[in-house]
Structure 1
C-alpha cells in the first residue's frame, strides 16, 4: 500500500468500525486527544436501551468511556456507567486466564478515560483503579511496546506515575508502534519526553516502511493511528497530503518559522501578560520554531533561562531619556541575515511596537496581535481618583486596542469572553479573530488539603476592587462568624510596595469581622513564592468583577487546589464548555452588589470547607478533564498555522 493511499486507510477504518467496541472508541480518541476533527463519518454513539445491561462487560464499559469524550451524555448514562464500574471493582482484576480489561490495553485506556470523565465515579473508585494500574505496571513490564505505551497513557489520565524506559530505535519497532509513539508525542505531550522519541528518525522509518507493512486488518484504532501519523509525517517533510484529503487540519506549518515577539520583560515583574508571553515563546521554540524576544533589558539570569528554553532574548538599544516602550520601536537587533516571518505583540502594551517593527522594519512579515483585556469592561472597577473620567479613559483605551487589532493579519483573543468582545468590535473590518486557549500549566498537583483553612486571593493590589478583594474579605468574614472553629485565614497576595498596611486595614474593615485573620503579602514575580502560596491554601478565590481570562484560576486548578471563579471570567466560560458537569462546583456569580456577593460566596466557601477532601477530589477530576483539552503545543500550532496562511 502506498503512503499516499489515505483512501485505503479510511476504507480499513470504515470496515473495522463496530460500535460499541473499545477499538472503535480508541479510533475516535486518536483524533480527539490530538485536538483534531474526526476524518471519518461515525454514527450515533448512543447505547440502545436494550443493550444498557452490556455495560457490565468491560469492552462496552471501555467503549462508552471513550464516548464520554465526544460529548456530554445524559446524567442517567453517567449514573449507569458508574454503577457498572462499581460492579467491575468486585471482580478479580488479574485472573489466571488473563481475561480482564487490564490485559487489554485499549480497554484499560477507555476505562481510565471513563473514570476521568464520568460525573458519578467516586474517589474510592478512582483509588481502586490507581491500585490496579500500579499492579498492572509491574505485570505488563515485559509485554509489547504497544501494551506498555497505552498503559502509560491510561496511567497518566488518572494522575498516577508509570515508568516506561526509552523506546528502542524505530527500526526495531513495528509501523503501528511507530505511529503510536508519534501520536503520543502529540496527544500526550507531557509524558513523551521520557520515551526518547527522535522525531526525524521515527518519521523517516514510518514513511519508508508504510507501504511494506500494511495495517493490521480489523483494527480501526490502528488504522486511525496510521492515518494520523502519516499526515503529521508529511507536514514535517513538506509533502502535500493526497488530493481530496480531509486531513488538512492535521497539517501544521510546513517549515520552521522565525518569530519575533515583543515584550516589556522576560520575567513576570508586571503580571500575567509577561507570564503568558514567556510560555508562548517557550512553546514556539519547543515545537521547532526559531524564536527571538525583544525586551528593553534583561539580567544575566534571564538571558541564561531564556537560552535554556530555546529562546533568544534581544536587548533593545539604548536611547538616552527614552521610556522602555520607546526603546522597542527601533529595528530589533536580529542577527545579520535574519528576518522574521511573524511578529507578535500583546495588546496596547507591546502591540504598537510590534506594528512599528512590521511597518517600518520588516514589512514582509505577518503580524499576530494578542488581546488580553477588554478596557471597556474593566476600567469601571478601577480606582476613579486618577486619570480623569472613567468613560473617557475606557473609550480611549478601547479605541487603541481596536486600532492595533484591526491592522494585524490575525487577532488572537485569550479565551471565549475576549473573542466575543473583539469579534464584535472588529466586525466588518475583515481581520480574523481567533480564540486562543492557553495550556494547563504542567506542575505536580497537591493531593490533600493542608492543616489550616486558608483562602488565597491573587492580583495587583491597585486593582483590588476589579479583582474582587472586597468580595473575598466580606465572604470570609461571614464564614469566620458562622464557623469560628475553622479559624479561616485570608491571604491577599499583590500589594504594591508601601501599600500593604492600607490594604490590610481596608480588607479587615470590609470583612465586617474584626477577628478575621487577614494577611496581606506584597506583589511578587517569584514563581516559586506564588507556587508556595497556592500549595498552602485550601481554596483559591477569583471573585473578579471582570476577567478577560483568569490565569490565576488556571494555575490553581493545575496545582490541584480547589478554586471558586467569578462567572464574569473567560475561564468560567471555558469550564462550562469543556467540563459542563463539573463547572457548577467551581463557578460563582458576581454582581456589583457586595451585600449580595458576600453571602453568596460565603456559602460556597463554607461548603468547600465542610469537606475539603471532597473538594480536592473534585478539582483533581476537573484537572484531568482539562489536561485532555488544553495544551500549549496544540493551541500554538493551530494559531501559527492560521497566522502564517494567506
Structure 2
C-alpha cells in the first residue's frame, strides 16, 4: 500500500472513534471555520460529519492526503489513542505510514488544476437554457468555472447561433459532433456515450476533469474517462431520483426503476467526486452511495436574468396563472392534471383568468391539449413553446402567480427562479425546493402548498391558494418582493460554490 492510498477500513475505524472531536481534527487538517460549520450543518450526526470532512480533505489534497498526515493530525488533536488503536489492529500500518508529512507527499499527481489552470470537459446535449433544469445548471457551472480561471469545453449535440453566442459570451468552447455525408440520422445521446470516438474525435489535450449529469450524460462521462482520458477526474452531478419520479410516468418506467437505479449507482461508483443539486437529492444519494465518496450539495444561484427582473403589480380583472414545464408524458409528475382541475374552479370564481403553460412543443401540442382538456373542460389553456431564460422572465412579468405543484420534484429550479424574479409562487411540499426553502427562513413557508394524495382534495386546496393570491394581488406582490430580497441577500449559494470550485483546485 502506498502512503496516499488510504483504505476504507482505516477511515471506518477513525470516523467511528473520533466522535465529537471531529472539529478539532478538521482544524489540524487546515479546514477553516465556515467550512467546518457547513459540514456540520449538512450532516445529522458526528460520525457522518467526520466521514464527510475526511472525504473532502482527500479531495482537496489529492496525493498529499496521506495516512502519515492524518495520523499526525490525530495526534495533534490529542487523539493519539486512535492512532495506537489503528496500529494495533493493523500491524502493517505501523511500518508503512510514517512518510508523508503535512508539507507534501510523494507519488504521481493526477491532473487536478491546483498548480495550473484546470481544463474541464463538460458533457451535455445542449448549451443554453431552453429546456431548463439540467441545461441551466450545466451553463451555470460552466460560467462559475470560467470566472475563476478554468478552461472549459462543453459538448453539444447541436448548437444554434444563439447557443454559440452564449458560449462565447461565457468564455466556453463548444464541441459539436462530426457528421458524415449521406448519414440521415439525427444527433442523439448515444453519439456521446457509445460513438464518441467517431463523433467527437478531437477532444482538447490536457483535460483534467470530466463533468457528467445523472442520468443524462453520466454514462458518457464514465465511458470517455475510461476509454480516452484515464488520468482525468470524473465529477458526476445528480439531478434525478427515479424512485420518486418514475411512479408518475408510465408503467414501463415503473418497471425499470431498479435497472435505472443500478445504472446510476454504477456511474457514481466510478466518480471521483459527486455533487447533488439541492438538499433532497443530497440526502438521497448520500444514503444510496454509502461508501466513502467525496459528495457535496450544490445549490444553484438564480441567473441575473431573474434577479434583475422588475415586477410591477397592476390591479386588473384579467389575471395570468403561469405553469412552466412540458406536459406530454409527465402530466401527473408535474401536476398538470391537478392544475387543470384547479383552474376549472378558478375560472368559475374569476372568469377573466388566463392559464398559460410554457414548455409545449408543436409536435406535442395535440396530445398535451387533450391531456389538459380531459381534466379541464373550459379550454382556457394557452400553450407556449420552450423558451430561453429571457422568455421566462417576460412570462413572469406578465403573470400573477407561478405554479410548481409537482407530485415529485428532486429540486425545482424554475420555482427558485420565480422567487428570485419577485412573482408570487406556489411550490409543492413534495419538492426538493420546498425542503430547501424550509431550511432558509420561516417566511418562505407561505409559498409551500400541500399536495395531498387525494387528487380531488389536492385540486381544491391548490385552487383555494390560487384564488387567494389573485384576489389579494397587491399584498401578495409586496410579500413576493420581500422574499426576493431575503433570498438574494442570504447568498445561500456561496458555500456550495466554494466547495464546487475546491474540487477543481480553484
Q: Deviations over 1:527-584 (max 9, x none)?
A: 33222222110000000000010011011112111100001111111110012x2122
Pick the structure with greater CA Rg.
1
Cα distance between partner residues in 2 of 1:585 and 1:508: 30
**Which residue among 491, 503, 507 is the counterpart of 2:368?**
503
In the alignment, which of 458, 465, 469 is matched to residue 597 of structure 1? Answer: 458
The equivalent residue for 2:188 is: 324
* Distance in 1 separating the partners of 2:244 and 2:367: 26
Corresponding position: 1:409 with 2:272: yes
Could you tell me which of 484, 489, 507 is aligned with 2:354? 489
Structure 2 Cα separation of the partners of residues 589 and 474 of structure 1: 16
**Closer, same or farther: CA 470–253 of 1 in aligned 2, 3 Å:** farther
**Residues 440 and 253 from structure 1, CA distance in 2 versus in 1: closer, same or farther, beyond 3 angstroms?**
farther
SS in 2 for 1:408: coil
**1:304 pairs with 2:165:** yes
Query: Structure 1 40/454 Cα, relative in aligned 2: closer, same or farther at 3 Å?
Result: closer
CA apart distance, 1:422: 1.0
Please list, as runs of the form range in 1=range in 2, the aligned pairs for 1:493-642 lying within 5 A after superposition: 493-511=358-376, 514-515=377-378, 518-579=380-441, 581-630=442-491, 635-642=496-503
Question: 1:409, 1:643 within 8 Å by CA — same for their partners in 2?
Answer: no
User: In structure 2, which of residues 203, 210, 221 is the aligned counterpart of residue 354 of structure 1?
Assistant: 221
Which residue of structure 1 aligns with residue 248 of structure 2? 381
Superposition CA RMSD, Å = 3.0
In the alignment, does 2:289 pair up with 1:423? no
Q: Corresponding residue for 2:260?
A: 397
Distance 1:548 1:620, change over 3 A: same
Q: Distance in 2 between matches of 1:318 and 1:351?
A: 23
2:322 is equivalent to residue 456 of structure 1: yes
CA deviation after TM superposition for structure 1 residue 333, in Å: 5.4
Distance 1:383 1:495, change over 3 A: farther
Gaps of at least 5 residues in structure 2 are 1-31, 42-101, 104-112
Change (3 A) 1:305 1:474: same
2:340 match: secondary structure: helix
Deviates more, 1:543-552 or 1:607-616: 607-616
TM-score by length of 1: 0.56
How many residues are aligned here? 392
| Structure 1 SS opposite 2:321 | strand
* Separation of aligned partners in 2, 1:585 and 1:271: 25
TM-score normalised per structure 2: 0.71
Answer whether contact 2:245 2:333 (CA < 8 A) is retained. yes
Q: How does 1:83-482 map to 2 (within 5 A)?
A: 255-318=116-179, 324-329=188-193, 330=196, 338-384=205-251, 388=252, 390-427=253-290, 429-442=291-304, 443=306, 444-450=308-314, 451=316, 452-462=318-328, 463-481=330-348
* 5+ long unaligned stretches in structure 1: 1-35, 42-69, 71-240, 243-251
- 2:445, 2:474 → 1: CA distance? 18
Cα drift, residue 347 of structure 1:
0.7
Q: Could you tell me whether the CA contact under 8 Å between 1:267 and 1:302 is conserved in 2?
A: yes
Question: Any idea what the Cα deviations from partners look like across 1:202-224, whole Å, max 9, x if unmatched?
Answer: xxxxxxxxxxxxxxxxxxxxxxx
What displacement does 1:518 show? 2.1
Higher relative contact order (CA 8 A, sep 6+): 2
1:315–1:505 CA distance, 2 compared to 1 (3 A):
closer
Mapped contact 1:453–1:609 kept (Cα < 8 A): yes
Partner Cα separation in structure 2 for residue 563 and residue 39 of structure 1: 32
Distance 1:597 1:306 in 2: 42
Encode CA deviations 1:423-473: one digit per residue, 9 max, x unaligned. 11111x222321110012223233332443111111111212110111112
Taking a change above 3 Å as real, the CA distance of residues 270 and 344 of structure 1, as seen in their structure-2 partners, is same
Corresponding residue SS for 1:606: helix
Q: Does the aligned pair in 1 maintain the 2:157–2:187 contact within 8 Å? A: no
Aligned to 1:185: none
